[in-house]
Amino acid sequence: MLFKAKNITDPKTREEKIDKARPIAPTFAHPMRSLLHLVGKAWYFMAKTMQGEHFIINSTQDVPYFLDAINTETDGGDSEAKVLDIEGCYPNMPKDKIQFAMREIVQDAIKQGKQGVSVPIQYLSES
């Protein structure tokens, strides 16, 4: 078993997280990997094409451009950006709110006349 370095190098953090150990296994072949990959692609498409004003940055490469645009819009006023690691973001998020948001995205798509999302099968061989 390998521990994440960030959870072991600091003695205080190690004391808090030593019992939460889980193996780092990037080579694990999840039996539903291909399906989950396709579902993720479909949800990404849905989020990317939502109508209305939404705060969505499609790529981490777009973050500097986004920050530059904000800085320009505020005439270079005092602004600060912080990049933080969110510990356990998804596991700690309220699942009922995630499900509600997903249903709302689907309902909006249905109102726009959409009947489904297709993901090219080529993604199966890339996963």
Q: What is the pLDDT of residues 101-110, one digit of tens each?
A: 889 989 999 9
Q: What is the domain partition of the chain in residue ranges?
A: 1-30, 31-126
Q: How far apart are CA 63 and CA 113, in angstroms?
A: 32
- Asked whether the predicted pLDDT for residue 56 surpasses 70, the reply is yes
- What size, in residues, is the chain? 127
- Asked whether the predicted pLDDT for residue 127 surpasses 50, the reply is no
Q: How far apart are CA 96 and CA 113, in angstroms?
A: 26
pLDDT at residue 32 in the model: 80
